[in-house]
Amino acid sequence: MEDIKGTVCVTGGTGYVASWLIMRLLQHGYSVRATIRSKPSEGKRDISYLTNLPGAQERLQIFHADLNHPETFNDAIQGCTGVFHLAHPMDVKGKEPEETVTKRAVEGALGILKACLNCKTVKRVVYTSSLATILYNSKGLEETDENTWSEVDVCRSNKLVSSSYSVSKSLVERTALEFAETNGLDLVTVVLPIVFGPFVGPNVPASVCIGLAPIFGDQEQYKFLISTYMVHIDDVASAHIFLLEHPNAKGRYICSSIQTTIHELYDFLSARYPHLQISIPDHLKDIKGYKGTNVSSIKLLNTGFKFKCGLSEMFDGAIQCCKEKGFL
């Protein structure tokens, strides 16, 4: 793909990853069309954190689009050279039926991909996926990579994340890859673990709340950290742009830089932030030495991409952001 700083579309523009990606795209010289779900007149949504980004006044346009009505993405995509599809129903707790979420996500994604195909200007689509599409399988693998897929039955029996989320993400990614292959559309997917670090928006993103559970003392979130995979938000944005621009990128790419356990995190946080009160629930103190399958990002690394941030940068950035915005 030619390295041209043209116009790109980012769906789900108010999300954690999307908002940081928009910031970085503007810094890289791209013109950005961001889609958001709710109209300001209906929800009076404050998106000044996007419109006030450096370069936004000249090169950021906001479009209103909804996955329930895929045709609403057409105007934002028309004329773009690249599309980042990040919009997805975030139903991690299973508040909606799996079928409802999956239908909305799949039909929305297909509508967006058809718009990319029909407009004739889109050179590549980058779809943002999740490790939920890989981890929930019955194979008992020591190492998982892009060839591994979650199984629907395992997703439905898993108590950690609702099947509304894990099944819908898996089906959307599979559907997107199959559609692209069948129709000759250039598409790559970025498979993400817990994304962590600083944030652009006014509220603490859900994944940052998970990572900061030992500091916030959030009992509900500890379960996600027993054995976990993480990546810095800036590495995520860099990987998205890298894969948009890389001439030979193809298929799925796992983008995960850190694998750790809750005990390792507790030791790290206690040593690095002795002034903060770090906690771990009693019922988790006996779970020692447990690590899940090794998740390999070697395919991404072999393209020439390099992770720049570790745990220190992740937590320093997240904690500093939380302090600046009054959450700590």
Q: Which CATH number belongs to the domain containing residue 167 in this structure? A: 3.40.50.720
**What pLDDT does residue 1 have?**
38
**What pLDDT does residue 91 have?**
53
Task: Name every residue whose Cβ is closer than 8 Å to that of residue 101 and which is 6 or more positions away in sequence.
Answer: 89, 91, 164, 165, 168
Find out whether 200 and 27 touch, Cβ atoms under 8 Å: no
Q: For residue range 61-76, what is the model confidence (pLDDT) as tens digits?
A: 999 999 999 999 999 9
**Is 277 inside any structural domain?**
no
Q: For residue range 219-241, what is the model confidence (pLDDT) as tens digits?
A: 888 888 988 999 999 999 999 99
Alpha-carbon span 50 to 13, nearest angstrom:
8
**Is 212 inside any structural domain?**
no
**What pLDDT does residue 171 have?**
95
**Is 13 inside any structural domain?**
yes
**Is 42 inside any structural domain?**
yes
Query: For residue 73, what are the CA distances in angstroms to 88, 100, 212, 314, 317?
Result: 14, 20, 35, 33, 33
**Is 78 inside any structural domain?**
yes
**Is 100 inside any structural domain?**
yes
Residue tagged 């993405």 (tokens): 73
The low-confidence residues of the chain, meaning pLDDT below 70, are: 1-4, 39-44, 90-94, 285-291
**Is 132 inside any structural domain?**
yes
**What pLDDT does residue 161 have?**
81
Task: Render the burial of 259-273: b for 16+ CB within 10 Å, e for the rest.
Answer: bbbbbbbbebbeeee
Please state the domain count of the chain. Answer: 1
Which residues are annotated as catalytic? 169
**What pLDDT does residue 128 have?**
98
Q: Tell me the residue range of the domain where 96 lies.
A: 7-193+232-256+291-308
**What pLDDT does residue 60 have?**
97
**Is 215 inside any structural domain?**
no
Alpha-carbon span 213 to 196, nearest angstrom:
12
